[in-house]
Amino acid sequence: MDKYDLAISFAGEQRNLARPIAERLDASGYSIFYDEFHQAELWGRDLTISLGDIYAREARWCLVLVSEEYIRKAWTNLERQHALSRFMEERSGYLLCLRVDGTVLPGMPSVIGYIDFVRSGLDMVHELLLQKLGAPSHEDLLPRIAEEDRELAKQVIQACYRRAVFTRMDSEIDMRAMCDSIGEALGVIQSAIPRMGDQALQYISLKLVGSLDEVQRIGSASGVATSISVERESAKRIDKQKLQAIRLLLELRRAAGVAIQLPLTLRTDHFFGLDAARQSPESSG
């Protein structure tokens, strides 16, 4: 069994496309090789060997974001050569080519099908990848952390999975309920951090405390009853910190190997009262 369900090969100019693809699939439980997910693992290693292993042997599928920049860069050419060697050896559909512009991938047979991103868009590409990948099927890549730490990370994620955190400020939000609910989440996180033995989980959780504390501080200082009365700049700052909190929750989920799916962004919602603020995003209607 392979380590990764999908390895993504792309030029830096296409990072803004590669990242949401990787994040969506990662949030759905797939094991994705995307460089930002594995910075610590790759740091200090011989990348010519490590990347060769990943693109030639360690992934079930390889998604290539084909562009003019991709074919003229040394590192992407190295990844392409290893991926092509696997493709030619197995004669399978290992390579999935997503065309970002009109560029053709050198070395690929002309009869191989491409998907055109300009015509398809991100949502369709994501749907097609889900169909292609099927159910997640990869080796156990969970970090070797204690089960107690994994359980504490799960408690932190569950405590933050509430409408108070995942709702945009251009919704109608009861500000006091939002702040009180976030205060409850902060209490759970602050209680969990001293009991975590894994320093990486501690560090992520501490950054999460910083983001949520800033949301609570700005919200309380606004002195208004509902979000529609919050000054525009303050509302933007709150949304920015909430988005940062979501990114940290996804990072915590990945680091601890917790099998919980999370939204990738904020949603428009309306809630009043503490009970509603505590509810999960899905429970709103």
Q: Give all domains of the chain, ordered by start, each with its CATH number.
A: 4-133 (3.40.50.10140), 147-283 (no CATH)
Specify the pLDDT at position 141: 53
Q: Nearest 5°: phi and psi at 3?
A: -70, -40
**Which position has the token pair 């559909």?**
93
Pull the structure tokens for residue 147.
């089960």
> In 179-273, which ranges are E strands?
none
Contact present, 55 and 62 (Cβ < 8 Å): yes
Q: How far apart are the C-alpha atoms of 235 and 192, rounded to whole Å?
A: 29
Specify the pLDDT at position 240: 96
Output the DSSP codes for 148-196: HHHHHHHHHHHHH-SHHHHB-TTS-BBHHHHHHHHHHHHHHHHHHGGG-
Specify the pLDDT at position 285: 45
**Rg, the chain, Cα only:** 21
Q: How far apart are the C-alpha atoms of 58 and 110, rounded to whole Å?
A: 26
**Which position has the token pair 């501690």?**
202
Pull the structure tokens for residue 244.
């940062």
**Average pLDDT per block of 10 residues along the chain, 285 residues long:** 88 93 85 86 75 86 92 86 79 82 77 82 91 78 74 95 96 96 97 92 94 96 94 96 93 81 88 95 64
Using DSSP, state whether 70 is helix, strand or coil. helix
Pull the structure tokens for residue 218.
């700005």
